[in-house]
Amino acid sequence: MQIRNEGEKRTRAAADIVTAVEQDILAGVRLPGERIDESALAETFNVSRTPVREAILELAAMGLVDQRAHRGAFVADVTLEEIFDVYEVLAELEGLCARLATRRMEAVERRALADLHAEMAGLLSPDDRDRYIALDMRFHDMLIAAARNAALKDHLALCLRRIAPVRRTSMELVRDMRLAHAEHGEIIAAISAGDAAAAERIMGEHVSLRAEQAKDLIARWKTRRNAATQSSAGQAAA
Ligand SMILES: [Zn+2]
């Protein structure tokens, strides 16, 4: 059974690599267009190239990584147009989530949401931004869960994965966390009042890219992507 054990070990290593790279992409540590260095990953995880390739295949199937013939693997690129398209859909879907959650949320879930909101109130200074961003994702996930609609959840997951690399960047652009936090408060109030239409509208506005934010996003996105593409070109040439 030696062979089987080896195989299991390799698969576990591949799963660890998938998780690590996925987290890096979601956190904006690895940027769209950036080359994924297979030998560096093999070294970091102390494994051969086989589980690394297995991991890359899986990440490609998830849509997070592009494989290019003779050039290697790259963090999936997203165009600005695509980002705006996805945000439009996302605003509608998250609005729908809030509407359904208003009707379907259990009391215990409402309390958990209110507790989370209270915790986030203490994280509005720029120093706490990372923690706030993490909890913001949890806030939205709680409403997705409370909507109790598997199809909606799947569509949202698809959208979120598509813009995963910029989600963090877009959160960084929220100049005033107090505004975003106040909107969460309004969503909670609408849910408590049983006002599904208001919950839907406020959530839709909360998720939409605001005009000034969109302009900043374009600027920052171009800078980051150029930096990522240049460093990838350097790595490829090396
Ligand atoms: Zn939010």
Q: For residue range 35-66, what is the model confidence (pLDDT) as tens digits?
A: 999 999 999 999 999 999 999 999 988 778 99
Secondary structure (3-state) at 142: helix
Say how many Å lie between the CA of residue 221 and the centre of ligand 1.
21
pLDDT computed for residue 120 by the predictor: 97
Say how many Å lie between the CA of residue 189 and the centre of ligand 1.
14
**What is the pTM for the complete model shown?**
0.70
The answer to whether residues 69 and 31 touch, using CB atoms and an 8 Å cutoff, is: no
Secondary structure (3-state) at 37: coil
Say how many Å lie between the CA of residue 74 and the centre of ligand 1.
29
User: For 150-159, what is the mean pLDDT?
Assistant: 93
Q: State the burial class of residue 226 (Cβ atoms within 10 Å of its Cβ: 0-12, 13-18, 19+).
A: exposed
- Which residues partner with 67 through β-bridges? 73
Q: Which backbone phi and psi does 87 adopt, to 5 degrees?
A: -60, -35
The answer on pLDDT for 173 being more than 80 is: no
Say how many Å lie between the CA of residue 28 and the centre of ligand 1.
18
Say how many Å lie between the CA of residue 131 and the centre of ligand 1.
13
What does pLDDT average to over the chain?
Answer: 85
The answer to whether residues 214 and 188 touch, using CB atoms and an 8 Å cutoff, is: no
Contacts 24+ apart (CB under 8 A), 191-198: 191/98, 191/101, 191/102, 191/105, 191/110, 191/113, 192/110, 194/102, 194/103, 195/102, 196/98, 196/99, 196/100, 196/102, 196/103, 197/99
**DSSP secondary-structure letter at 133?**
H
pLDDT over 70, % of the chain: 81
How far apart CA 166 and CA 93 sit, in angstroms, is 18
